[in-house]
Amino acid sequence: MSKIKILIADDEEHIRQLVCSILDKGYQIVQARNGEEAVKESREQNFDLILMDIMMPKLDGLAACCMLKGDKQTSSTPIIMLTGVGYELNKKLSQQL
């Protein structure tokens, strides 16, 4: 039986490593350093879940989420947005997606 595949998108390596250390035993993990990489990886592989930071370089998490939800190939993939900044504003923006 294949493991559930999760994409972790965060520009901070220590955050990616922390999440990987928690999930690596039961899940197949792929990492992306920014929103651009997250979109690219999502179009090349099928993920069961995406964990994505909101504030990232090149393409932020909200823009990447909009792109993925607007793409027929990736629109059904659940995305959990991660952030440590501006909880209420980010919550409202994320819920609109």
Domain residue spans of the chain: 4-96
pTM of the model: 0.84
**In the structure, what pLDDT confidence band is assigned to residue 24 with cuts at 50, 70 and 90?**
confident
Higher pLDDT, 31 or 94: 31
SS (H, E, C) the chain: CCCEEEEEECCCHHHHHHHHHHHCCCEEEEEECCHHHHHHHHHHCCCCEEEEECCCCCCCHHHHHHHHHCCCCCCCCCEEEECCCCHHHHHHHHHHC
Task: Indicate if the pLDDT at residue 11 is higher than 80.
Answer: yes
The domain 4-96 having CATH identifier 3.40.50.2300: the answer here is: yes
